[in-house]
Amino acid sequence: MFDYHMHSTVSFDGHNSGLEMALAAKAAGMKEICFTDHIDYTTEMDMVFDAQKYSAEYDDLEVPGLLIRKGIEFGLAPDNQQRLKTDLMERNYDFVLGSVHLVDGVDVYWEPYWAGKTPQEATRTQLEQTLRCVSSHTDYDVLAHLTFISKARGNPTHELIRYEDYQELFDVILKELVRHDKGMELNTSGINRCGGPLPTLDFFRRFKELGGKIVTVGSDAHRADRVGQYTYEMVNALKEIFGYVCTFENRQPIFHK
């Protein structure tokens, strides 16, 4: 089994070392993992890991029976394509997740973003930002947690976003992923916080209908006790839809049937 979204203390919000996370993955029955530490540029502070710390944490990290890949989770914005190119020159990565945490430099996870907006307005604004990002960025591999905003701490509902709630907008986003040959992540962190994965399986059925091919599964673990959480069930669910699930090596997808 695979967990392709996790954070150690290399990320600003991680709680366990790379070794502790890897040992937890082995104990959870994972065969392959990928560390995807945060790079997010905001108007108030940059949440960017130190490249030397990243290398020191992972380059010599080995756990017998566990394949460890190295990646990043880059915060996409409509105007930071060059920053991503520059960051990718720091070192070689196996995998690049693209996420959309910010709207106009404001983190949608926290309460200030939601002030003065209805939940529907806040959600649509973030999804419109996502569309701008996937339309303009080409240097990432997979879009992380499309419906991430469901689990935002500032979200007063924490309800799962349904495909039909914003069907036209979601279709355009998915078509942009297909057009650029990008993948979509099934993020399991919403299961015990919102009642389902982010996004839910109907998004992946639609993604396949539109020609999408690349799909990954990640727990989004920031603590060792969450590594591999629900990934068995979700890998098998994607295999029922696509017949496979993907991992990455040197930025190239590997299809596991």
What does R_g of the chain's alpha carbons equal in angstroms?
17
- C-alpha span between 212 and 218 (Å, rounded): 18
Q: Which pLDDT does position 174 carry in this prediction?
A: 98
Asked if residue 11 has pLDDT above 70, the reply is yes
Instruction: Report the alpha-carbon distance of residue 154 to residue 156 in Å, rounded.
Output: 6
CA 80 vs CA 9, 43, 107, 132, 251: distances in Å: 25, 13, 16, 12, 20
User: For 98-137, what is each residue's pLDDT tens digit?
Assistant: 999 999 989 999 999 999 999 999 999 999 999 999 999 9
The pLDDT tens digits for 62-71 are 999 999 999 9
- Residue closest to 99 by CA, chosen among 9, 34, 36: 36
Least confident range of 15-24, 45-54, 204-213:
45-54
Beta strands 215-218; 252-256: pairing state: unpaired
3-state DSSP assignment of residue 156:
coil
Closest CA to 50 of 9, 82, 80, 16: 9
Burial (Cβ within 10 Å: 0-12, 13-18, ≥19) of residue 175: middle
Residue 169 has pLDDT above 90, yes or no: yes
